[in-house]
């Protein structure tokens, strides 16, 4: 088994900055990422052999990417791209899907796996043609694919307007943007952005693109149902109140070939759960947050977290958190004096604190509203992997199965390919509606091995390696 000083899981902004910071101080670093290139979702680029000079889409915060790439040329970091981590074991042992070299024991681990889009279950959400905005971003950035047909973008938050403007400028037929929050709420949120004129300016730019191309924005509006047989044909929409409860008499239908959704992001905690780290449940984001100290170290010694998996924080804060972890790893390994580490730590903590307002801002925007649960019918699928519908979940609630683990055991919800990433957010929303806040916050889930699908050949190679010892 190979042993290393510092292993970073995730090649996004937080992971890259942590690796760079530690490597500059002489730490031996490996960065493991699933994509062909490092950069994470926000800095995703075209996949070979489609690679061209530059990026097909305008990148947000491209200056941060340019600085990271420039710094990478100055240090020695071992990258394992196109590599899937599928397990974390005792003593900080990491398993991944590379033949003949599939285990690493690390003195320090950083989990920087980011976040994923919080799914919202409603009638028809599993139809072909209904997808997340993140899926559209992947198609645009890594494949250069511009979707065809009539497109409706729905959900809440700035990603709606950013993606809509991208699609419009590439010639896509965007018919409407449905923003669940009200125009008054957005006006109040905009006032907070006066302290971040760069972000505010981008928002105005995206709205101007929509106005120029006569794309309507419907505030206080959500999709109630996606209709079609073999694929999406129509979207039923309606106006909603402040808690996103559909308002009577406002229902209407819109023709659509593609419905793109984003109702916020959920920190990805599969590896921190697998490692046995303590977490807190947060019903507002319908997910969990790992408990950390001031150095972003979890309850398991030697394992740190940084970036959006600590709470949706934006790329600038993620980079600072990564740098802080890199600094603390160098301190632990004796590559930097305690006094110098303390000086750096103090500066970084002040910078992170100054950006905390933006994290709170995003939390307000993406806070889940219970009215969306009114859309559920007994036939609505909750768990796509195991095809468990809302009717079965309701029946289990009636029979006092009121914990995630009990529902998992009785219905197989969360036992499929996604391991609960798609169904648990919906379950937490349902729990929040019928249980007290204390009971909801006591919920947790178990992450099992393998974290993601992997070839049997990987397990065979691992078994052969053990037998050869």
- The pLDDT score that the predictor gives to residue 44 is 58
Q: Considering the chain, what percentage of its residues have pLDDT values greater than 90?
A: 62
Provide the pLDDT confidence category of residue 469 given band limits of 50, 70 and 90: low
Q: What share of the chain is helix, strand, coil (3-state, %, to 5)?
A: 40, 20, 40
The DSSP letter of residue 31 is E
C-alpha closest to that of 328 among 16, 13, 18: 18
Write the DSSP assignment of 170-188 as a string of letters.
TT-EEEEEEESS-HHHHHH
Write the DSSP assignment of 100-137 as a string of letters.
T--EEEEEEEEE---EEE-----TTTTSTTEEEHHHHH
Looking at CATH, the fold of the domain delimited by 370-435 is given as Arc Repressor Mutant, subunit A (1.10.10)
Selected from 1.10.20.60, 3.50.50.60, 2.60.450.10, 3.40.50.300, the CATH number assigned to the domain covering 2-117+266-363 reads 3.50.50.60
Tell me the pLDDT tens digit for each residue of 120-142.
999 999 999 999 998 898 888 77
> Is residue 53 scored above 60 in pLDDT?
no
Contacts (Cβ under 8 Å, ≥6 apart) of 181: 156, 219, 220, 365
Q: Which two tokens stand for residue 5?
A: 């000083």
Q: Parallel, antiparallel, or unpaired: how do β-strands 279-282 and 287-290 relate?
A: antiparallel
- The pLDDT score that the predictor gives to residue 138 is 85
Cβ(375)–Cβ(122) under 8 Å? yes
- Rounded Cα–Cα distance for residues 463 and 402 (Å): 39
Angstrom CA distances, 350 to 342, 359, 464, stand at: 12, 15, 50
C-alpha distance across the termini of the chain, in Å = 10
Looking at CATH, the fold of the domain delimited by 130-262 is given as FAD/NAD(P)-binding domain (3.50.50)
Identical fold between 2-117+266-363 and 130-262:
yes
- Rounded Cα–Cα distance for residues 264 and 6 (Å): 31
Provide the whole-model pTM: 0.90
Write the DSSP assignment of 249-269 as a string of letters.
T--EEEE-SEEEEE--EEE--
Q: Which two tokens stand for residue 226?
A: 């996606």
Tell me the pLDDT tens digit for each residue of 415-454.
888 888 889 999 999 888 888 878 888 888 778 888 888 8
Provide the pLDDT confidence category of residue 336 given band limits of 50, 70 and 90: very high
Provide the pLDDT confidence category of residue 114 given band limits of 50, 70 and 90: very high
- The pLDDT score that the predictor gives to residue 294 is 92
Tell me the pLDDT tens digit for each residue of 225-258.
999 999 999 999 999 999 999 999 999 999 999 9
Where are the domains positioned within the chain?
A: 2-117+266-363, 130-262, 370-435
Provide the pLDDT confidence category of residue 56 given band limits of 50, 70 and 90: very low
Tell me the pLDDT tens digit for each residue of 364-400.
899 999 999 999 999 999 999 999 999 999 998 888 7
Angstrom CA distances, 124 to 204, 377, 379, 395, stand at: 33, 11, 10, 21
């Amino acid at each position: 088994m190979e042993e290393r000083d510092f292993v970073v899981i995730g090649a996004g902004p937080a992971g890259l900055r942590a690796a760079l910071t530690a490597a500059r101080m002489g730490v031996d670093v490996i960065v493991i990422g699933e994509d062909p290139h490092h950069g994470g979702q926000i800095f995703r680029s075209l996949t070979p052999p489609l690679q061209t000079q530059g990026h097909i889409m305008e990148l947000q915060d491209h200056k941060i990417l340019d600085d990271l790439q420039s710094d990478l040329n100055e240090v020695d970091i071992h990258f394992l791209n196109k590599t899937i981590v599928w397990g974390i074991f005792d003593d900080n042992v990491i398993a991944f899907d590379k033949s003949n070299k599939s285990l690493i024991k690390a003195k320090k681990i950083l989990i920087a796996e980011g976040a994923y889009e919080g799914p919202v279950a409603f009638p028809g959400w599993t139809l072909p043609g209904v997808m997340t905005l993140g899926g559209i971003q992947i198609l645009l950035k890594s494949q250069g694919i511009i979707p065809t047909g009539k497109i409706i973008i729905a959900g809440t938050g700035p990603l709606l307007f950013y993606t809509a403007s991208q699609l419009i400028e590439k010639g896509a037929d965007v018919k409407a943007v449905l923003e669940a929050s009200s125009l008054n709420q957005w006006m109040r949120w905009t006032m907070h952005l006066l302290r971040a004129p760069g972000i505010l300016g981008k928002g105005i730019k995206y709205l101007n693109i929509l106005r120029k191309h006569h794309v309507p924005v419907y505030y206080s509006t959500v999709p109630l149902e996606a209709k079609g047989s073999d694929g999406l044909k129509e979207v039923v929409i309606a106006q909603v109140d402040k808690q996103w409860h559909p308002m009577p008499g406002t229902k209407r239908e819109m023709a659509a070939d593609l419905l793109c959704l984003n109702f916020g992001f959920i920190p990805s905690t599969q590896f921190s759960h697998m490692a046995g780290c303590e977490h807190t449940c947060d019903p507002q984001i319908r997910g969990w947050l790992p408990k950390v100290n001031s150095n972003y170290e979890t309850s398991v010694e030697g394992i740190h977290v940084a970036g959006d998996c600590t709470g949706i924080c934006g790329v600038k804060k993620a980079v600072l958190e990564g740098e802080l972890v890199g600094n603390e790893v160098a301190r632990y390994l004796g590559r930097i004096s305690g006094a110098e580490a303390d000086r750096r730590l103090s500066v970084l903590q002040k910078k992170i604190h100054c950006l905390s307002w933006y994290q709170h801002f995003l939390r307000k925007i993406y806070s889940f509203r219970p009215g969306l649960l009114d859309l559920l019918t007994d036939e609505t699928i909750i768990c796509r992997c195991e095809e468990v519908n809302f009717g079965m979940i309701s029946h289990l609630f009636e029979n006092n199965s009121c914990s995630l683990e009990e529902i998992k055991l009785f219905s197989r919800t969360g036992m499929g390919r996604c391991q609960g990433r798609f169904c648990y957010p919906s379950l937490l929303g349902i729990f929040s509606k019928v249980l007290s806040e204390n009971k909801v916050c006591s919920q947790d889930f178990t992450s099992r091995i393998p974290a993601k699908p992997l070839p049997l050949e990987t397990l065979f190679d691992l078994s052969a390696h053990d037998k050869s010892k």
